[in-house]
Amino acid sequence: MSTRALARMVSIALSVSLAVASCGFGGVNSLPLPGAVASGSDNTVYHVHISNVGTLESNSPVMMDDVVVGSVGTIGVQDWHAIVEVRVKRDVVIPANAVATVGQTSLLGSMHLALNPPLGEAPQGRLEPGATIGLNRASTYPSTEQTLSALSFVVNAGGLGQVGELIHSASTALAGREGEIRQLIARLDAVVGTVDGQRDRFNAAVEALNRLMGTVAADRDDIIDALKTIPPAMDVLLRERAQFVTALQKLGQFSDTTTDLINRTQDDLVRNLNNLGPTLALLADQAPKVAPTLAYAPTFPLSQNMIDRAVRGDYFNIWAQMDISVPRLKRTLFLGTRWGDPNAALTPAPGEPNYLSHTYEPPDLAMPAPPADGSTPGQIPNAVPSSAPAPVAPVVAPPVATTSATGPSPIFAGPYPNPGGP
């Protein structure tokens, strides 16, 4: 070989090496392959940021709804994650909410990149050409190697042997107890049915608890202030602990003294209460009269009826007739005194001997005389006469003493017998 030919070959080799080094040749797969979808220049280009692309290579298919719509372009690295160039046919509409997913096309290891809406969501809008899909919208499915390694871990060190022991132990425990297990299942079914029947009450309880929590949350600042205030208050109580103990001890001594006093005076107390019984009984008998009297006491000397009808502001109107003649005073105000009418009967007070035999009939009322045969009007003929009840307490006026020179005669307060009677 001549020197000129050798120099030509060296020049060609250096030129090729320089061209390859300057262009960053990445292998044959980095070149556009014939027949690849959207490998030309008149296609839509997107960029996807993915943390792990696995074995994804350039010219890998890009799929949407399991249909190839493009191919993967160049793959670069930025901030420890991959940037994948995606070439899609111009007439294909990529949804604006699309997410990128790297997965295996077959078990042989071929990879693809899918652009689909999120699971359960409908496609929305259209992704603008040149847009970028971020890391939060890109993911990678586990590869076959990762799946097999995880399965190997479960089989070899995942505790399948212990699961077999658990199944054997459960079978041994349930053997011969089929009836009890059926009853248990029936009871569990009844319990679940009861709980299901009380579902509305459970919901109401949860809603009430939710309202309570809402109220507590609304008063959160007050609760925080209270929690901050309670510790100082507890410190004050702790400082006064000795006084509290002393007060409780004194209270215990007072209780012991009271108990001893009650034990000693129990008989006298019971006797006084028994003696108070008749007084309370008489007071209860006069309840219809006591109530009006008590109502009249705050408005004395006027009645409430008169105040309601007569008093108007700072004045009142009244029209009354007052009989202050001597006969009227002797029968009313002076009755029972030496200036009173001796023929007027006094109304006996409760407890006096003649209280039960007192009558409000006028003493001068003309009463028909009884028949001569001793029968009363309306009496059944030939009937056996019944004995008349004896008076509870006969009313007999004491003899009137003559007036002596030494002083006035005693006055009988009545009631006096009818002058015209027997």
Alpha-carbon distance 84 to 353, whole Å?
125
CB-based burial label for 97 (10 Å; 0-12, 13-18, 19+): middle
Bond preceding residue 34 cis, omega within 30 of 0 = no
Residue 106 belongs to a domain: yes
In a domain, 199, yes or no: yes
For residues 89 and 38, the answer to whether their CB atoms sit within 8 Å is: yes
Q: Are residues 106 and 123 in the same domain?
A: yes
User: Could you tell me which residues come within 8 angstroms of residue 416 by beta carbon, excluding any fewer than 6 positions away?
Assistant: 342, 343, 344, 345, 397
Percent of the chain clearing pLDDT 90 (strictly above): 34
d(CA 141, CA 123) in angstroms, rounded, equals 22
The per-type count for the chain, helices as H runs and strands as E runs, is 11, 10
Could you report the per-residue pLDDT of 250-266, keeping only the tens digit for each? 999 999 999 999 899 99
Residue 38 and residue 139 in one domain: yes
Question: Within a domain: residue 20?
Answer: yes
Nearest to 51 by CA among 134, 130, 109: 134
18 lies in a domain?
yes
Q: Among residues 113, 143, 173, which one ends one of the domains?
A: 143
Same domain for 39 and 3, yes or no, is: no
Query: Is the same domain home to 63 and 85?
Result: yes
Do both 57 and 102 map to the same domain?
Answer: yes
Give yes or no for residue 50 having a pLDDT over 60: yes
Banded model confidence at residue 394, pLDDT cuts 50, 70, 90: very low
Calculate the alpha carbon distances from 1 to 11, 12, 15 in Å: 15, 16, 21
- pLDDT-derived band at 361 (thresholds 50, 70, 90) equals low
Q: Are residue 90 and residue 21 in the same domain, yes or no?
A: no
Residue 110 and residue 133 in one domain: yes
Q: With a threshold of 0.85, does the pTM exceed it?
A: no
Q: Which two tokens stand for residue 245?
A: 């103990």
Residue type at 83?
Answer: I
Task: Point out the least confidently predicted range of 34-43, 112-121, 322-331, 376-385.
Answer: 376-385
Q: State the Cα–Cα distance between residues 87 and 72, nearest whole angstrom.
A: 6
Residues 73 and 122 in one domain: yes
Q: Give the per-residue pLDDT at 370.
A: 56
Two structure tokens written together for 43:
């296609």
Based on the fold, state whether residues 109 and 189 are members of the same structural domain: no
Q: Comparing 4-18, 47-61, 242-256, 276-290, which segment has the lowest mean pLDDT?
A: 4-18
pLDDT tier for residue 29 given thresholds of 50, 70 and 90: low
More reliable by pLDDT, 118 or 374: 118
Residue 107 is assigned to a structural domain of this protein: yes
Rounded to whole angstroms, the Cα distance separating 144 from 318 reads: 115
Query: What band does 403 get if pLDDT is binned at 50, 70 and 90?
Result: very low
At position 405, the amino acid (one-letter code) is A
Count of domains for the chain: 3
395 pLDDT more than 50? no
Residue 95's domain comprises 32-143
Q: Are residues 7 and 48 in the same domain?
A: no
Q: Are residues 72 and 58 in the same domain?
A: yes
